[in-house]
Amino acid sequence: MRAWLMPEGCDGFDKIHLADLPDPEPGPGEVLIAPRAWSINYRDFAVAAGKYFGGPITEPSIPLSDGAGEVIAVGRGVNNVVVGDKVQGSFFLDWMDGPQAMGRALGDGKAPGMLAEKVVLPQQGVVKIAQSLSYAEAACMPCAGVTAYNALFMGGRPVGKGSRVLVLGSGGVSMIALQLAKAAGAEVIATSSSDAKLERVKALGADHLVNYKSTPEWGKHIAKNFGGATQVVEVGGTGTLQQSINALAPEGEIALIGVLSDGEPPHPRQLMMTGGSIRGIFVGSVRMAKDLNTMVDEQAIKPPIGATFGFDEAIAAYAHAWGPDSFGKTVITLD
């Protein structure tokens, strides 16, 4: 089979290369999947650059956490899927339900990665895709989709009618969060560095738009003009956290997710004045992935795919996702 590989010591996505590898076989309790589509997450750049939690890649490994495809064989004892099922991987292979539990994470350089023609996963890390989605759309869900779902619905005040959700930038997590929040009946405030992208964000249903470049004090602007955010999908990191705190409505909640920008971390005392809170998010569980897929089917949600590349064009896909023209999810497909 063909697979993309990150070499030992990989220090950038441009170093990944195509390789011919032996076809994997499923052992007991394992599922053999033929992925048909994949999506790129910001985290995949960090892994390929050797800057993810585990440090540089110590042995050649297959990249990407997110893929969707067809079950083509199952090992002895597998009882949750059958050959022919359409499935996705779960970002965390061992976090089934309940409180946060990290463990093995797809595509981190140690656990299996998805960017190959065949992948073996333990059955508990295999989830049936939403029936209404194509493989390309389903491939957007394991990391970005589940993270957005966790941020919006698993906190102390789940998003619903009367919520006012702030999403930062027009990347994958934020655009899926926008769609989920709208489907739940919330008002959505969205930011971007680009007025052209804000038009696309508006077309996805955002109620209020702010260009965070031309409105550098966007946090206060949102509190003053739109009544503040009851939830913030905080993908910016230390470079945006102060503004997100400024944007909070009383008792608002920040879902702490991303590391897109650097800056001086804010002093948390402002949260005391407003009763605000910050909740850390690390993608989510298999249960959240299943519940998200149910919601996607019920609400007819289609994740926004900004660009699609072929399997041979993986490096170009990474480059696009990294570049200024990316919007929503960047996808790789086999077809």
Ligand X SMILES: NC(=O)c1ccc[n+]([C@@H]2O[C@H](COP(=O)([O-])OP(=O)(O)OC[C@H]3O[C@@H](n4cnc5c(N)ncnc54)[C@H](OP(=O)(O)O)[C@@H]3O)[C@@H](O)[C@H]2O)c1
In the complex, the smallest distance separating the C-beta of residue 11 from ligand X, rounded to whole angstroms, is: 18
Q: x-or-dash pattern for ligand X, window 85-124, by CB under 6 A? A: ----------------------------------------
Q: Which two tokens stand for residue 18?
A: 């195509």
Amino acid found at 280: G
How far is it, in rounded angstroms, from Cα 175 to Cα 307? 14
In the complex, the smallest distance separating the C-beta of residue 310 from ligand X, rounded to whole angstroms, is: 20
Q: Which of 4, 13, 42, 309 binds ligand X (CB under 6 A)?
A: 42
Taking CA atoms, 13 is separated from 4, 9, 53, 63, 258, in Å, by 11, 12, 17, 9, 20
Asked if residue 182 binds ligand X (CB under 6 A), the reply is no
Q: Which two tokens stand for residue 140?
A: 């957007």
Instruction: Count CB atoms within 10 A of the CB of residue 320.
Output: 19
Q: How far is CA 177 from the centre of its chain?
A: 10
Q: Which of 171, 219, 276, 303 binds ligand X (CB under 6 A)?
A: 171
Report the residue closest to ligand X, judged by CB: 171
CA nearest to 162, candidates 89, 113, 229: 229
Q: Which of 138, 144, 167, 189 binds ligand X (CB under 6 A)?
A: 144
Q: Give the interface segment with ligand X, choosing from 70-78, 93-101, 167-175, 223-231 (CB under 6 A).
A: 167-175
Q: Which two tokens stand for residue 27?
A: 């052992």
CA nearest to 150, candidates 253, 250, 75: 253
Q: Give the interface segment with ligand X, choosing from 59-67, 106-114, 141-149, 296-304 (CB under 6 A).
A: 141-149
Amino acid found at 81: V
Q: Give the interface segment with ligand X, choosing from 19-27, 81-89, 168-176, 224-232 (CB under 6 A).
A: 168-176
What residues between 247 and 306 interact with ligand X by CB under 6 A? 257-261, 281-283
Q: Give the interface segment with ligand X, choosing from 8-16, 115-123, 125-133, 169-177 (CB under 6 A).
A: 169-177
How far is it, in rounded angstroms, from Cα 291 to Cα 37? 21
Asked if residue 212 binds ligand X (CB under 6 A), the reply is yes
Asked if residue 26 binds ligand X (CB under 6 A), the reply is no
Q: Which of 147, 179, 231, 285 binds ligand X (CB under 6 A)?
A: 147
CA angle 214, 251, 209 (to 5 degrees): 25
Q: Which of 197, 208, 221, 320 binds ligand X (CB under 6 A)?
A: 197
Q: Which of 172, 252, 303, 304 binds ligand X (CB under 6 A)?
A: 172
In the complex, the smallest distance separating the C-beta of residue 95 from ligand X, rounded to whole angstroms, is: 12
Amino acid found at 111: A
How far is it, in rounded angstroms, from Cα 253 to Cα 10? 37
How far is it, in rounded angstroms, from Cα 205 to Cα 120? 38
Q: Which of 240, 244, 285, 293 binds ligand X (CB under 6 A)?
A: 240
Asked if 2 contacts 307 with a C-beta cutoff of 8 angstroms, the reply is no
Instruction: Count CB atoms within 10 A of the CB of residue 17.
Output: 14
Residues that bind ligand X in the complex, under the rule CB under 6 A: 41-43, 143-144, 147, 168-173, 191-194, 197, 212, 235-236, 239-240, 257-261, 281-283, 321, 326
